[in-house]
Amino acid sequence: MQEKQQEQFILEEQYVSSSGDKSALPSNLNMLAPVALIGTMLMGSFGGDTSSSRSSSSSSSGSPNKKKSRGRSPSSHSSCSTSSSSSSSNSNTSVNNGSCLPVLASGLLAVVTRGKSVSSTKRLFHNRKVLNNATVLGGKSPAARSALKNVAGTSSSGPATKKESHPVAEAPRQQRKFSTIFKPRFTNVRGSTAQASSAVRQQPSFSAQQLVEALQKPVVTPSSQAEAVAAAPAPASNLLDHLNDQEILQRMRNGELPDHKLEAMLQNLERAVNLRRAFLLEKMGMDSQLLQDLPFQNYQYEKVVGQCCENVIGYVPIPVGVVGPLKLNGQNVFVPMATTEGCLVASTQRGAKAITESGGADASVVADGMTRAPVVQFPSAKKASEAKIWVDNPANYAIVEAAFNSTSRFARLKSLQTVQAGRNLYLRFKSATGDAMGMNMLSKGTEFAITTLQHHFPEMQVLAVSGNMCTDKKPSAINWIEGRGKSVICEATIRADIVKSVLKTSVDAMVNLNINKNLVGSIMAGSIGGFNAHSSNILTAIFLATGQDPAQNVESSNCLTLMEKTAEGDLYVSVTLPSIEVGTVGGGTGLSPQKTNLSLMNVAGHSDVPGEKPRKLAQCISATILAGELSLMAALSAGHLVKSHMALNRGGPKKH
C-alpha cells in the first residue's frame, strides 16, 4: 500500500509540474502509465529511453558514435541501474531485473487528462509530438522510486535540451515501412496494453518485430455478459438484487430499467428471465398461464447471455434422434439429429444400414475456407480498376495478406478474389478459421485488411463489410462453384442384394429416378445447388443438434447426388457438397446439450490440429446425407413414401 501511494505521489507531482493545477488531477492517474509506455513503443522507441534529458557527455562530445548513443543522463543511469554502452543505431538500453515503472512526461499527461472519451484518447496515440516527450523510467524498489521522485520533480525545471529526432526516423527502413503499413487500431492497442507492458517489463531489450508480436497476441475476453459481470463485478449500488420482483417490475414500468438490461443488473440470470416473462405478459395484457408450457428453469443462461440470444424468455426443447452405426472411413459413427419431422431419422437409419452392410462410405474434404466479401466504392470506374489491378498484383497481395493474418492466431488468408461492377469493387476474402465456423474471424480480418488498403487508396469508401458476394445465408452460384466452408465428397457402393433387401427396390430403378428427378427435374426448375432429394433435411437436423447456425443451411445443403450402375451390377452413389459451414467451438456449440451431441461424434471443442474436428464433422454430415438420399430415393422409386409417412408421421403409438 505504501509503494502504491508513493507511485501515485510521483505521478501527481509530474502532472502538477506541467499543468500547475492540482484540482484537475485525475483519480486514475497511475493507470495512464502503461498507456504511455505502449504509445512510446508504437512510435518506434523499442526498449530504449525517450527522455528529453540525454547524457551531457554523449550530446556534446565529438565521438563518432554521437548520434548512435542511447544512454541516459548520469543521474538516471545511477538510479535505474542501466547500461551506458551502445554500439549501433539498433542497440537498445538494457534494464537490470526487467523492472520498469512507466512515468508520464508533462506533455503526455496534459493531453491524456484533457478528456476521458475514447476519441480524445485515440487522438493521443496519433500525436507524435506528445509521444516524443514521453519518458520511460524504471524501478520498483523504494530506492528506485525515490530516485524517480527526484527526477520527476526536476523534469520541468531542468535545462532545455535539443529536440531529438523522431525514433521512427532512426529505425531501419524495413521497420519504418512496416509501421506505415500496419497502423494498429486503437481498440487493438487498448486491449493489448497489459500484455505488451508485461512483455516489456520481462524483456526490456527487444526488437520491432517482438513488439508487433506482443501487440498481436489475441486478447482473452469474457465469453458472455454473465462472465464479464463475474470478472469485473459492478458496485453493489448498481445491482438490483436487493429489490423484490415487484419493485423491479415497477422500475420497468416507469422506464427506469429496460428489460434488455435485466441480466446485467441481476446476478441471478434465471430470475431475470422470469421477470422479463412477467413484464411481457403484463404489456400484452395476457393471462399468466400463456407461457407455462415454455420452459425457462434449469438452463445454463451464463452460456447464452452475450453469446447466443438476447431478451431471453425461455428455451424450446427439440427431440433428438440418433443415426448409427454408420461406417465412415473405416470407423463406426453415431450422428445426432434434432427434428420434429417424423420418419426422417428412421429413413436415414435405413440408409445408414445399407451403407454399413455394404462396407461403409468414404468421405474427403477437398477444400476448406470461409469467405467474406466487402463492397468498396471509388469516385470512378477507372479508380476502381486501378485498385483491382493493385490488389491482384502478388506483391501487393502479400501486404493485404499480412494485415489480414495479423488479426488472429487462426485466420490465414488463402485467396482474394476481386470483382468489379462499375465503380464498385467486391473483394472476396477466403481464409482458414481453425475450429470455428469463422464468420466473426473473417469479418475482423477483412475490416483490418481494407483499412490497410485505404492507406494506398484514400478516396476508397467502404460501403459494407459484407457486399453479398460472400455469400452468407442466401442461394448463390458462387458458393456452388467456388465453395465456402468445407467442400466435401462422400461416396459408397451399395451391393445389389442390399438394395433389394434393405432398400426394397432395384439398382436400375434408383439410377433412372436420380437422373429424371435430381438432375433433369432440378434443371427444369432452374435450381442452384439443389440437385438432390432432401440434403437440407438431414443437414439442418444435425445443425440444430450440434449448435451450428441453422440459417446457414441455405448454402450448406448445396448438394449434387449422383448414382450409377457398376459393371458388377451394384449401385455406386456419391454426394458432392461444396459449402458446408460448421465449427466445433463458438456460438451454440458451447451449450451443454449441443456439446454433448458433438461429443457423440468425437468432434467437440478444440482440435490438436486446428480445423481437424470441423472437417470430421463435415464428413459425418456428408455421410448422413448420403444415407438419407439413398433411403428417400428408394422409397420414391418403390412407391413407399406416402405409406411410410402415414405410419410414422401421424399420431402416436398404435393402440392395441
Instruction: Classify each residue of 597-630 as buried b or exposed e, where b means 16 or more C-beta atoms within 10 Å of its C-beta.
Output: bbebbebbeebeebbbbbbbbbbbbbbbbbbbbb
Give catalytic status of residue 166 as yes or no: no
Angle between the N-to-C axes of helices 439-456 and 381-392, in degrees from 0 to 180, rounded to the nearest 10:
110
Phi, psi of 625 (to 5 degrees): -65, -40
Phi, psi of 212 (to 5 degrees): -60, -45
Q: CB neighbours of 222 closer than 8 A, spacing ≥ 6?
A: 228, 230, 231, 306
Q: Which of 7, 549, 555, 581 is catalytic?
A: 549
Q: Which residue has the cell 451390377?
A: 569
- The DSSP 8-state label assigned to residue 95 in this structure reads B
Helix (H) or strand (E) holding 173: helix 173-181
Give catalytic status of residue 645 as yes or no: yes
Contact (Cβ atoms closer than 8 angstroms) between residue 184 and residue 41 = no
Give me the long-range contacts of 266-275 (CB less than 8 A, separation at least 24): 266/239, 266/240, 266/241, 267/229, 267/239, 267/241, 268/241, 269/226, 269/301, 269/302, 269/305, 270/296, 270/297, 270/299, 270/301, 271/245, 272/301, 273/301, 273/312, 273/313, 273/314, 275/245, 275/248, 275/249
- From residue 109, give the alpha-carbon distance in Å to each of 17, 135, 560: 10, 11, 65
Q: Which three cell numbers stand for residue 484?
A: 465456402
Contact (Cβ atoms closer than 8 angstroms) between residue 586 and residue 548 = no
Q: Which of 68, 77, 140, 473 is catalytic?
A: 473
Q: Which of 164, 259, 341, 508 is catalytic?
A: 341
Pick the closest to residue 185 from 125, 106, 247, 261 (CA basis). Answer: 125
Give catalytic status of residue 270 as yes or no: no
- Residue 18: helix, strand or coil by DSSP? helix
Give catalytic status of residue 655 as yes or no: no
Q: Cis bond leading into 471, ω under 30°?
A: yes
Sequential DSSP letters for 178-231:
HHHH----HHHHHHHHHHHHHHHHH-SS--HHHHHHHHHSPPP--SSHHHHHHH
- The DSSP 8-state label assigned to residue 114 in this structure reads T
Q: Which of 77, 388, 456, 645 is catalytic?
A: 645
Active site (catalytic) residues? 341, 473, 549, 645
